[in-house]
Amino acid sequence: MSYQSINPSTGKVLKTFKEHTDTQLEKALRIAATCYTAWRHASFGQRAAVAAKAAAILRERLDEFARPATLEMGKRIDEARGEVALTADIIDYYATNAERFLAPQKLKPKAGRAVIESSPLGVLFGVQPWNFPYYQLARFAAPNLMAGNVVMVKHAGCVPQCALAFERLWREAGAPVGAYTNLFISHDQANKVIDDPRIRGVALTGGVDAARRVAARAGRNVKKTTMELGGNDAFIVLADADLDKTVKWAVWAKMNNMGQCCVAAKRFIIVEQLYDSFLAKFQTALATFAPGDPMETRTTLAPLSTEAGLVALLAQLERAVSKGATVVFGGKRIDRPGWYMQPTILTNIKPANPAYREEFFGPVALFFRVKNEDQAVALANDSDFGLGGSVFTRNIARGQRVASRLDTGMVFINHPTWTAADLPFGGIKYSGYGRELSGLGIQEFVNKKLVRVSSLAAAA
């Protein structure tokens, strides 16, 4: 496993980091386990003071944290700043609400008294991706630290400076050593961590193949897991949608973070009355994107995060075309240093084409023409994934009806699928299981302990 910062806009290596030795890993596990014995007994107020300080540091030094996100994975600097601000919001949200979310729940049994208490599980292990190098960490760390767990994180190999920055953030905010631990470890070492009896839960955000391996390993050790995986989100446009406003949202839904987002719009499902006009306007908008240095605010087209990601996406596109799909716009690598790709529109995708079922993780929009609402719903649901989706219509009641028919974890009406601290995030099918964020996210790795006080006489 390589932990290396490479600037995606130039292809130049910035910094390389060594993996932990087995001795270093064992020391980190021992420290985390020791930390948990004290952190679990810290009051909500004590934990909240640390979390609130971490959020304040992010806001005070926003550019300091945003810069490595741009330099390591190519995110446009304005988007990087937005991610840092969102990360602070998530941490603050749990600092404010964790105690309420985990308050004892009184039950009403037929006899006696009963209450459900929420207590932490222990040391948790997270495997996190590169596409949102702070936000993904906050979704895992903030609720679990506030619940009294401690966390150890294996971040993606291409964002090591972001990984270290987030670990330093918690130490600077006053978290004890071992509360948040970054691990530069190999895949074999990650397996050892999952096997270790000191680890009591595992959370992964990533791909289906990685989820199969990690969930199977954790399952053999009888450990709770959550899996937040990919998506093939449908962006449904009904006949009564506001065309111009919907196109603007469609472009944002596809091109935000260069399409490298689990809930990016992947499949644009347009009713035939609007299809031609929508496609023309969408293509015109994509033509305005111009590549440049993502550190400059005027840049509209950023690079992809890695050379491997770009090559894989181009190969995926080539396979789709070989099976009958049509590239109507873009489809090529841009001839300049770095890992830039033209925004791309793909049409004529039949069910037998591998592209029909695959997730395109980048600036590739798949277009489908349908006759009506029923066909739109059927096509949207004909997917191995079930993360998010969106429906655009002037009739809100109609939008809600369509939303209820979609087999996904999230549906937005007249807005692309997106995220906020107070909204639950997660999916079904190959998009995984479990929820992050909101009041649901803090419940995943806590023990719901029943405490019953009985007034019944002893049995004779």
* Contact yes or no for 93/420 (Cβ under 8 A): no
Scored b (16 or more CB within 10 A) or e, 210-240 reads bbeebbebbeeeebbbbbbbbbbbbbbbbee
The rounded distance, in Å, linking the Cα atoms of 396 and 413 is 8
With a CB cutoff of 8 Å and minimum separation 6, the contacts of 209 are: none
Concerning whether 172 is annotated as a catalytic residue, the answer is no
With a CB cutoff of 8 Å and minimum separation 6, the contacts of 375 are: none
Name the strands in the sheet holding 412-413, side by side, starting at the edge strand that comes first in the sequence.
326-329, 344-347, 364-370, 267-271, 234-237, 389-392, 412-413
* Contact yes or no for 312/319 (Cβ under 8 A): no
Concerning whether 262 is annotated as a catalytic residue, the answer is yes
Angstrom CA distances, 109 to 112, 118, 251, 271, 453, stand at 7, 19, 54, 53, 10
Tokens matching residue 373: 């609402």
Among the options 228, 359, 436, 444, which is catalytic? 228
The rounded distance, in Å, linking the Cα atoms of 138 and 436 is 10
* Contact yes or no for 416/391 (Cβ under 8 A): no
* Contact yes or no for 2/122 (Cβ under 8 A): no
* Contact yes or no for 423/89 (Cβ under 8 A): no
Among the options 158, 162, 261, 262, which is catalytic? 262
Angstrom CA distances, 426 to 63, 86, 219, 236, 435, stand at 29, 17, 20, 20, 5
Tokens matching residue 99: 């105690």
The rounded distance, in Å, linking the Cα atoms of 144 and 203 is 11
Nearest to 408 by CA among 164, 264, 233: 233
* Contact yes or no for 359/229 (Cβ under 8 A): no
User: Which DSSP string corresponds to 167-203?
Assistant: HHHHHHTTPPTTSEEE----HHHHHHHHH-TTEEEEE
* Contact yes or no for 422/93 (Cβ under 8 A): yes
Which are the catalytic amino acids?
Answer: 228, 262
